[in-house]
Structure 1
Amino acid sequence: MFLLILLLINPNIEKTNFTNIKPVLSFLVDNSNSVSFFKEDNNVEVFIKELESNKVINNKFDVQKFSFADDLQVLDSLSFAKNQTNISDAILGVNELQNDKISPIVLISDGNQTIGQDYEFINAKQPIYPIVIGDTTKYVDVKISQLNVNKYSYIKNKFPVEVILNYEGSKNVTAQFSIFSKGKTVFRKNVRFSDSKKSATVTANLTSTKEGLQYYTASISKIENEKNIKNNSKSFSVEVIDEQTKVLLLTSVLHPDLGVFKKAIESNKQRSVDIVNIENFNNKLYDYQLIILYQLNDKFNDVLSRIKQNNSNYLFVSGANTDWNFINQKQLGFRKNAINETENYGAVFNDGFLTFLQEDIGFDNYPPLMDKFGEVNISKEHQTLLYQNMNGLETQQPLLATFDINNQKSGILFGEGIWRWRANSFLNTNSFEDFDKFIGNIVQFLASNKKRNRLEVDAESLYPANSTIKISAFYTDKNYQFDPRASLEITLTNTSTNAITKVPFSLVNNAFKTEIENLNPGDYTYQVTVLGQNISKNGRFKITDYNIEEQFTNANIQKLQKLADKTGGRLFYKNQVDEITKELLANESFYTVQKSTKKQVNLIDWQWILFLIIALLTAEWFLRKYFGKI
């Protein structure tokens, strides 16, 4: 009974446990290609081994090792083959991991960062001890530090190329800057540098003479005693497009919409608009890629016949002066049971529109368009971009729809007054850009005779040496809906060696993606194929000899020194293992923290008490049975 009462009471006592938490010493090791370029591979590994094998360091610190290049990784092995360096993200990543601990950071790097925010200005919570690797000697050098050029140009147009050149040195020097295309010099200029002029900006206006992807190389000549010439040249590419679009706007009335269409379309300099009254039209449709028919009536009879005969692309815009009786007789695939009364129609954006990419630019806030009242019936396959909103009631009646049938593209806008949309767009954004882009998208789709592709491939035209080639693809079924069931494969061919590489695509977030590594510099053609389907897409790209990690001539001691000063650390060199060891051991701010935790524990172990009670009860039962008491 005593034990049962004790078990029911179950008294508790408070117990305090003590845990010793060492400060964490985080090693951050640069694993980028610049380390091997400076021939510091072995020195880095020796430095790490000497520090981590130091028993005194291990007694005082909990040593943790990380490597970084374009991202932060737990250090397993070092390859020194990565093509980008992000020092700031690596430091911030370790700070986040060791947020509530005393954790000095030993940063082993040449200090040359290629991506990310400037690590000199980050707010690090821990003291940082940079270990400088690489060449600390300053050499004279001239390099291309930045090249700016548009990806696209139109044929026979001039496109600007802006190049920023930098010089390290003190003497007066002159170097020749050139741009080459297919071995021919297309631009040349002498550039002078001095101790007071360390940089120069050169702008070249080149002419695009041939359609397609064109490759160029910008180069600046070597100067005397220059050690690193890998940063003296840089390749770039421009895709030349032949898109001379002429638009004919035929009208039966004078209206502000006419000027808005002309301004919006001609905001793209490769497009021009001729506005002609239907009564003065000479029937020359073949000069134009798109016909806009504004407010049709019976005077458009001959024009409609020619459009049908030539299979011309057109955009029909209706309004208060439109003769719907005439249009309904022409069997255009749409009709409107209109009465002689007008109605205002607001716009509702359809985010399921698939014909071309169009963002919602605030259509629901635009003023309504005016058209004759009536029900719209469309009898042919179409896509609706905008639905009608009648006095706040959203309907499934189209306001703007497009058609793509038998290689003829057409569209219809049910309403006049689009000039108010352009004005409203300017009031909202202080720019006509959104509205003009919207009209441009419509014109680009309607004026193009290219058939819509079910397979689209996104790839760069230029990749730097040793980089990961990332290519994505988008495949749709016959209804132009994304098809995740497909299997895609890319076949790469090196045009010089004819070596062929085949790689499958993986499905990632409603797109097919693949990454290819270890390709040699050179020109490549590729073919993306949908397995089991007779659908493929061809293209080409170039892998250059340009490696951003090889563009530096020496370690960036200045930035590393500023980082150490700002965080309360000290800068050391690769041969100062003993010095940094003494610094880490002597610093009294790196101390072991004793952490106490209090917890309530049972005074007795109830399992043993319960076992003892059962044993006593069993013994009592047997004794009573034996002596005849039961």
Structure 2
Amino acid sequence: MESTTIIYIVLAVFISVAIAFFQYFYKVQRTPKVHILLFSLKALSLFFIGLLLINPKITTVETENIKPVLSVLVDNSLSTQFFKEENRVREVVSKIKNNQELQDKFNVQYFSFGKEVQTLDSLSFNEIQTDISKAIVAVNELNEAKNAATILVTDGNQTQGNDYEFSSTNNKIFPLVLGDTIRYQDIQISQVNANKYSYIQNKFPVEALLYYEGKEAVNTTFSITKNGSIVFSKKLRFSPENPVQTVTADLVSNAKGVHYYTASVSKIADEKNTKNNYKNFSVEVLDEQTKVLLLSSFLHPDLGALKKAIESNKQRKVDIALIHDTTIDLEAYQFFVLYQPNSYFKSVLEKIESNFLLISGTKTDWNFLNSQNLGVQKRAINQKEEYTAIYNPDFLTFYQEDIGFGQFPPLKDAFGEVQVKKESQSLLSQKFAGVETTQPLLSNIEEGDKKYALLFGEGIWKWRAASYLREQNFESFDTFVGNLVQYLASTKKRRRLDVKAQRLYAANEPINISAFYVDKNYQFDSRASLELTLTNLQTEAKRSIPFSLVNNSYQVAVEGLPSGEYEYSVTVKNQNIRSSGRFKIEEYQIEEQFTNANFKKLERLATKTGGTVMYVDKVDNLLKNLQKHASFYTTQKAITKKQSLVDWKWLLVLIIILLSIEWFIRKYHGKI
């Protein structure tokens, strides 16, 4: 307490005593005994009032015992069922809870984990994924800067997430190993890589990674089947020296639609687990390849650059032709690039009904183009000019980022003013002679269902080369051309109902399907009522489920569906709008791919964090070790608290009581 406060308190004592003395003893000839009591009551009440006005700070020191934290992480995944360890896990949890010495030493927390980490309520052992790393990190963050230990009850097999062996944690981890630790001969398909999409009559690659675990050489057969028929097969030989092999197959897309395949490897001798011998995958075959015709009256490097850029997207095939070629079948193409047109292009422009890209240059006949009602007029003169690009960040027709257009070499075109007479928007504007203008360099025009773009300048091959020199690849330039072609070649109207669903789901995995629905103005409509109808194609059983509105989309989750192939349909009530598709639920359980516990990995984790690993049947030994472990001890923490006297409500009550007693005594003795 500060010295100034003490002086104020002494003054308060002096003043309160002086006032009480003046009232009951000063110049009083006859002093009854009751005056002594009244004097005391008055002096005390005035002193307490003075204390409240002074409001001194009262400092107190409290001590708190802080126990070390013990987190119990229990694997709640299907693999525990697969190893038939459910009862043993429940017994371990029960022993920890009933060990009073452990409860006295530690602040014990209980968690279960699978794909996510949860507070342990009950154990169902039905989680379809295991992420040990996430569980370790979550507990470490929860008990950061605390003296903590973790008991990890698991088989050590992880199906998703980061490698838990390298998890960053300050906690000592003590794994209790579940499952069989005997190593059996096993061969498995660890991964299958395949494109999600292919085009009809095209080949698509499939890559499978196979892993063998055993002590002797074995022979097996890898095969890929579709609808029970083998479409690829290869004999393989594994050994302890050659345990990993990669098999690549090229399959043919014969029919449009979603196709399901099964990659499998035949069983080897003494193999205990064959559920990891196969994996399913799917490929959607599209029949939507765009054929593009690059039409010119002469050869130019721009043609080759455009062909390579457009064909960087495998959905597009480009042919280059000269305008004088009479064998051209225009109906075979869905999109056209008209390079530096002249009067010979008249019949082509009359026949083209689809969208196109027109590129002008030094050999363009502008007198001819001005007469074609394209919405663009140019007063060209017989003089060449170079135009540098200026990127328009407000361009909204389609998304295109600035890939350094301003640093690309200038394009050449005839000099003259461009007048655009139809609704348009420019991605690039012209800059010439160092002057920035609003004249278009690349502009698009939309007229009803027809849309086309005009690039005013030749030499775009230099842009592709400059892009390569800048980034050591052609990706940025090719993406720019691809975006332009995609916008112009697309004749599809925007769908009001867009449904997103996977084509393959693991067994017991929730089937999550989302839908986005817009009104006729293409604004999200939260008033709609959407319904999902599922049909099992084997049993023809149907099930209808309404969607729920979640933020700006409609969501539905379906659980408990048996494995098989399903057809789904999403409809909007009171609207003639629907979307349909198919998906397949696999029989394969990823948690059943392991034949034994991963003891070695758990042992390395324990060693790294300063813990010890034990088998689950040695849980009593682990609990005894934790009770005696010297690094886990209770600490005392001193907490200093400062409290203002004015916060003491009982002092105000005491003042009221003292003044009330004084008043009643004076009233009783007729002093009032």
Give the TM-score normalised by the residue count of structure 1: 0.90
Select 1:386's aligned residue among 402, 427, 442: 427
Farther-moved stretch of structure 1 (371-380 vs 146-155) = 371-380
Select 1:7's aligned residue among 43, 48, 52: 52
Q: What is the CA deviation profile of residues 224-257 of structure 1, one whole-angstrom value per residue up to 9, with x for unaligned ones?
A: 2221111111111112223444322222455432
Q: CA deviation at 1:557?
A: 0.6
Structure 1 counterpart SS, 2:215:
coil
- Same amino acid, percent of matched pairs: 53
CA distance in 1, matches of 2:228, 2:350: 53
Farther-moved stretch of structure 1 (538-547 vs 344-353) = 344-353
Aligned to 2:507: 465
Q: CA deviation at 1:47?
A: 0.9
Aligned to 1:259: 304
Structure 2 counterpart SS, 1:312:
coil
Q: What is the CA deviation profile of residues 361-396 of structure 1, one whole-angstrom value per residue up to 9, with x for unaligned ones?
A: 44455455455543543535x6x4714265685859
* Contact in 1 for aligned 2:498/2:579 (Cα 8 Å): yes
- The amino acid that maps onto 1:561 is E
**Residue correspondence of structure 1 range 562-577 to structure 2 within 5 A:** 562-577=604-619
* Contact in 1 for aligned 2:569/2:580 (Cα 8 Å): yes
Select 2:282's aligned residue among 237, 240, 254: 237
CA distance in 2, matches of 1:461, 1:249: 37
Structure 2 counterpart SS, 1:555:
coil
Select 2:177's aligned residue among 115, 128, 132: 132
Q: Which residues of structure 1 form unaligned runs of 5+?
A: none
* Contact in 2 for aligned 1:457/1:471 (Cα 8 Å): yes
Q: What is the CA deviation profile of residues 458-502 of structure 1, one whole-angstrom value per residue up to 9, with x for unaligned ones?
A: 322211111122333344444545555544433221111222233
CA distance in 1, matches of 2:469, 2:275: 51
CA distance in 1, matches of 2:343, 2:411: 23
1:346 paired with 2:389, answer: yes
CA distance in 2, matches of 1:339, 1:164: 62
Distance 1:623 1:277, change over 3 A: same
Q: CA deviation at 1:63?
A: 0.9
Select 1:529's aligned residue among 566, 571, 578: 571
Structure 1 counterpart SS, 2:264:
strand
Q: What is the CA deviation profile of residues 72-106 of structure 1, one whole-angstrom value per residue up to 9, with x for unaligned ones?
A: 11112222111111111110110010002111000
Aligned to 1:214: 259
Aligned to 1:178: 223
1:286 paired with 2:314, answer: no
CA distance in 1, matches of 2:119, 2:404: 47
* Contact in 2 for aligned 1:489/1:505 (Cα 8 Å): yes
Aligned to 2:203: 158
* Contact in 2 for aligned 1:376/1:398 (Cα 8 Å): no
CA distance in 2, matches of 1:249, 1:498: 50
Select 2:478's aligned residue among 412, 436, 439: 436
CA distance in 1, matches of 2:404, 2:546: 40
* Contact in 1 for aligned 2:190/2:210 (Cα 8 Å): yes
**Residue correspondence of structure 1 range 218-617 to structure 2 within 5 A:** 218-252=263-297, 254-268=299-313, 271-280=316-325, 284-307=329-352, 311-332=353-374, 334-336=375-377, 338-340=379-381, 342=385, 344=387, 346-349=389-392, 353=396, 358=400, 360-363=402-405, 365-367=407-409, 369-370=411-412, 372-379=415-422, 384=425, 386-388=427-429, 390=431, 399-401=442-444, 403=446, 405-406=448-449, 408=450, 410-447=452-489, 450-480=492-522, 482-483=524-525, 486-507=528-549, 510-602=552-644, 607-614=649-656
CA distance in 1, matches of 2:105, 2:411: 77
* Contact in 2 for aligned 1:179/1:188 (Cα 8 Å): yes
Aligned to 1:192: 237
Aligned length: 622
CA distance in 2, matches of 1:72, 1:234: 28
* Contact in 2 for aligned 1:468/1:515 (Cα 8 Å): yes
- The amino acid that maps onto 1:295 is Q
**Over alpha carbons, which structure has the higher Rg?**
2
CA distance in 2, matches of 1:490, 1:365: 52
- The amino acid that maps onto 1:206 is L
Q: CA deviation at 1:589?
A: 0.9
Q: CA deviation at 1:119?
A: 1.1
* Contact in 1 for aligned 2:426/2:440 (Cα 8 Å): no
Farther-moved stretch of structure 1 (604-613 vs 572-581) = 604-613
Q: CA deviation at 1:591?
A: 0.5
Distance 1:567 1:331, change over 3 A: same
Q: CA deviation at 1:545?
A: 0.9
Distance 1:374 1:577, change over 3 A: same
Farther-moved stretch of structure 1 (185-194 vs 478-487) = 478-487
Distance 1:605 1:306, change over 3 A: closer
Q: What is the CA deviation profile of residues 204-234 of structure 1, one whole-angstrom value per residue up to 9, with x for unaligned ones?
A: 2222222221111111111222211111111
Structure 1 counterpart SS, 2:295:
strand
Distance 1:570 1:609, change over 3 A: closer
CA distance in 1, matches of 2:96, 2:646: 49
Q: What is the CA deviation profile of residues 318-369 of structure 1, one whole-angstrom value per residue up to 9, with x for unaligned ones?
A: 344444443343223x2235453757352435576465x6555444554554
- The amino acid that maps onto 2:166 is F
1:105 paired with 2:150, answer: yes
Farther-moved stretch of structure 1 (72-81 vs 283-292) = 283-292
Select 1:89's aligned residue among 124, 134, 145: 134
Q: CA deviation at 1:439?
A: 1.9
* Contact in 1 for aligned 2:422/2:445 (Cα 8 Å): no
> Would you tell me which structure has more helix in proportion to its own residues?
2
* Contact in 1 for aligned 2:417/2:439 (Cα 8 Å): no
* Contact in 2 for aligned 1:348/1:394 (Cα 8 Å): no
Aligned to 2:115: 70
- The amino acid that maps onto 1:567 is T
Q: What is the CA deviation profile of residues 110-149 of structure 1, one whole-angstrom value per residue up to 9, with x for unaligned ones?
A: 0000111111122321110101111222222111112122
1:26 paired with 2:60, answer: no
Give the TM-score normalised by the residue count of structure 2: 0.84
* Contact in 2 for aligned 1:70/1:84 (Cα 8 Å): yes
Farther-moved stretch of structure 1 (385-394 vs 236-245) = 385-394
* Contact in 2 for aligned 1:164/1:200 (Cα 8 Å): yes
CA distance in 2, matches of 1:606, 1:200: 78
- The amino acid that maps onto 2:636 is Q
* Contact in 2 for aligned 1:386/1:399 (Cα 8 Å): yes
CA distance in 1, matches of 2:642, 2:407: 65
Distance 1:398 1:490, change over 3 A: farther
Distance 1:485 1:131, change over 3 A: same
CA distance in 2, matches of 1:278, 1:293: 10
Tell me the C-alpha RMSD between the 2 structures: 3.0
Distance 1:312 1:602, change over 3 A: closer
Q: What is the CA deviation profile of residues 4-55 of structure 1, one whole-angstrom value per residue up to 9, with x for unaligned ones?
A: 3333333334211001111111000111111111111121111101111111
- The amino acid that maps onto 1:179 is I
- The amino acid that maps onto 1:440 is G
Farther-moved stretch of structure 1 (126-135 vs 1-10) = 1-10
Structure 2 counterpart SS, 1:575:
helix
